[in-house]
Structure 1
Amino acid sequence: MEAQKQKMKAYWRKNLQTLVILLLIWFMVSFGFGILLAEPLNEYNLGGFKLGFWFAQQGSIYTFVILIFVYVWRMNRLDREFDVNEE
């Protein structure tokens, strides 16, 4: 029983680690690139739009959707690794 408890603690730790990393990426893209670094990024263009503007309007949304898929992929791997998969 103690081994199972340790296994679940390790699973939860890796789950939280994944969440923190993905949330930091999302924060950096949405707040960092879209607000804090918008002026320096506006020197570059992407699809005819200034890059800082693009990150504020579209880039953070695209990044969020990609991060959802990364989270699902990572959690499926963790579920198999710790034998807690739902299948």
Structure 2
Amino acid sequence: MNENQRRSYWRANTALIRNLLIVWALVSLVFSILLVQPLNTIRFFGVPFGFWMAQQGSILTFVGLIFIYAFQMDKLDRKYNTSKQEDEYNLRK
């Protein structure tokens, strides 16, 4: 992989991480803490939605983010033809 491809790969990698962290922050801070009272006016599975987000929805979102990250990184690795052998070689340099 040449230097331009390596930069593009890491730019895409950090953009993916940034976007997933934004979702994580929205779910954990905004929906589960800051907006819990307004969201509690909505019923979801028989319980207030703000409570459900703080207790279950955030956990399910976090697990989903893990799978999205793994899937997207696999796709990104295939796009840039990276391999573990190449990564290990670069670490030894």
TM-score computed with the length of structure 2 as normaliser: 0.86
Distance in 2, Cα, partners of 1:72 & 1:61: 17
Among 31, 34, 56, the alignment partner of 1:33 is 31
Number of aligned pairs?
Answer: 85
Moved segments of 4+, more than 4 Å: none
Query: Which residue identity does 2:19 align to in structure 1?
Result: I
The percent of aligned pairs where both chains have the same amino acid is 44
TM-score computed with the length of structure 1 as normaliser: 0.91
Distance in 2, Cα, partners of 1:29 & 1:52: 11
Partner of 1:52: 50
Partner of 1:15: 13
**Unmatched 5+ stretches in structure 2:** 86-93
Distance in 2, Cα, partners of 1:19 & 1:34: 21
What RMSD over aligned residues (CA atoms) do the two structures have, in Å? Answer: 1.5
